[in-house]
Chain A
Amino acid sequence: MNRFEVLTPADLAHAARLLARQGHVALAGGVDVIDLLKLGIIAPATLVNLKNLPELHGIEPGPRGLRLGALTKLHEVAEHPFIREHYTAVSDAAREAATPQIRNLATVGGNLLQRPRCWYFRHPDVNCLKKGGDRCYALTGLNRYHAILGGGPSFIVHPSNLAPALIALGASARIVGPSGERSVELEKFFTLPSVDPKRENDLKPGEVLVEVNLPPPPAGAKSAYLEAREKQSFDWPLVGAAAMVASDGASRTVRDARIVLCAVAPIPWRSPEAEKEIIGHPLDAERARAAGEACVRGAHPLADNAYKIAMTKVLARRTILKAAGIEEA
């Protein structure tokens, strides 16, 4: 790890001004930043400590939805009764993430902004496309955990399991930068490698992800998040799926739905194709199955990861049915 200084800005505006400078990196929960420092993937001269900024703290439920400060810890998200009741997918995703010890450190902002877990990207001896090299080694190398959708020229999968759940519930991110603030739908916040393989999101130099805002769920909406892992203990998901399904009670006719996949693409992957299969129809296992099939219609597997296609179909179906409260036969 290189030597660095740590600056604590007096307020958000000064934090943004500092972060706009070359060689300045934000320090919040620290989990991914410390990992990247140890790996030598980043070597900033200065870390800008964001922990003292009040705007980044707090879980605030209210009639207009839910505000999650970017520094909210994952364990707080997982345990919060209001989130559990109204934003179940978010709560479930937070509880599935990492380990108890990491959930006590890691923040919502860090989870959304963490760099990919790709074993080439994280390998100190490999200079891959994302690190300024000339190729994505996963394309022709070992790619069992890589992208089946949206890949190219980099084939990482986005590591956040919170992001799909938040997107399924219509979250937006409030971002403050040196020249003011903006709000962006979380769905549009992430960046495909075809746009820029060196980053995974739209956060610009000097910008701070301050909070995530969730609107009240649509009437009759329920949500769920499920993921498949090789290990039941700490492991990264092979595939995950978040679903929000709003339906009319008796007829089960779906009025609104969002299906967002985890660990299948370089960004959290929303599937309008899957949503189309269920919106306007009474939901049953067959409909959910069709939605699962639709999720992967455009998938392009690499040499080792075709199994993720089968897995995605199943998880999407199960998550939709779980959200809707329908037991499979």
Chain B
Amino acid sequence: MKHDKHGPPDSRAISRRAFIKGAGAIAATTGLIRTPPASADAAPDAQDGIVERIGPGAQTIELKINGEVKRVTVEPRVTLLRALRDHLNLTGTKLVCDRGACGACTVHLDGKPVTSCMVLALDARGHEITTIEGLLTPDRMSPLGAAFVEHDAAQCGFCTPGMMMSMAAALASNPKAQLEDVKRAVAGNICRCGTYPHVFAAALSVVRGGNRGES
């Protein structure tokens, strides 16, 4: 288990029985819709109608990242981005603006690109999280990754993981994307080096090559 960097766990919070029951239950319901587990009535907070109480101290949650279930001990205020970088050592996902405005922290949540700086780690429970490490590695290059290299679609490279996550999702859902589509696909990603034209070229070369962006 990773040591929590935000301070010692709050033992008072940890001891709440609701946590153990609730965390498991919610993780199993894909985080969305559907009524709370039937056993909620038995929860200690039932009189308040609370099915899960988590925090403010660090607590262990499970996240499914790149196909593997990872346990991470974080406070509720820790974003998915921070959990990935600071607690799980998945540093391919970049921290830049921390406000959802630049796209450097883009990951996939159930296949859709989102800015991980604007998602609480605990809200990512029950979702399939894909990071750049899950998309490709130097040993397992995706067609899109290879096209990025071939077209020099990275200058300083800091926006590249986020740029690639956005583009991979777009090409997966629209393998026939044209220039306007690939521009729109990365409309939420900022590159200060101005490397966009080569990003577009890389994506379009994947389209022409008939690849789907994700290997």
Contact = CB atoms under 8 A, between A and B. Distances in A.
Given A4-B56, A99-B187, A234-B101, A52 B118 contact: no
Interface residues of B, number: 50
Interface string A86-116: 0000000000001111101100000000000
Contacts of B54: 5-6
Interface stretch (B75-83, B147-155, B199-207): B75-83
B40 interface: yes
A75 B119 CA distance: 16
A3 interface: yes
Contacts of A35: 99-100, 118
A99 to B, nearest CB: 3
B118 A31 contact: yes
Nearest to B29: A52
Contacts of A14: 48-50
A233 B113 contact: no
Interface stretch (B30-38, B62-70, B88-96, B137-145): B30-38
Given A101-B115, A102-B115, A4 B100 contact: no
Interface string B22-34: 1000100101111
Q: Is the interface of B mostly helix, strand, loop or mixed?
A: mixed
Q: Is the interface of A mostly helix, strand, loop or mixed?
A: mixed
Contact of B33 (A9, A30, A47, A52): A52
Interface string A32-49: 001101100000010101
Contacts of A52: 26, 29, 31-36, 51
A287 interface: no
Contacts of A31: 100, 118
A17 B34 contact: no
B134 interface: no
Contacts of B189: 99
A5 B189 CA distance: 32
B175 interface: no
A326 B123 CA distance: 46
Contact of A3 (B77, B98, B99, B185): B77
Contact of B114 (A10, A104, A234): A104
Contacts of A4: 55-56, 76-77
Nearest to B113: A101
B198 interface: no
A8 B50 contact: yes
Interface in B136-185: 166, 170, 184-185
Interface string B99-129: 1110100100100111101111011000000
Contact of A5 (B46, B53, B109, B166): B53
B48 A34 contact: no
A142 interface: no
A11 B118 contact: no
A13 interface: yes
A57 interface: yes
Given A6-B54, A54-B35, A101-B188, A17 B26 contact: no
A102 B26 contact: no
B96 to A, nearest CB: 13
B20 interface: no
Nearest to A105: B114
B52 A7 contact: yes
B196 to A, nearest CB: 10
B187 A104 contact: no
Nearest to B126: A51
Closest 7 CB pairs of A and B: A99-B188, A14-B49, A8-B52, A3-B56, A5-B55, A10-B49, A104-B112
10 contacts: A2-B77, A3-B77, A27-B123, A34-B118, A34-B120, A99-B100, A99-B103, A102-B100, A233-B188, A234-B187
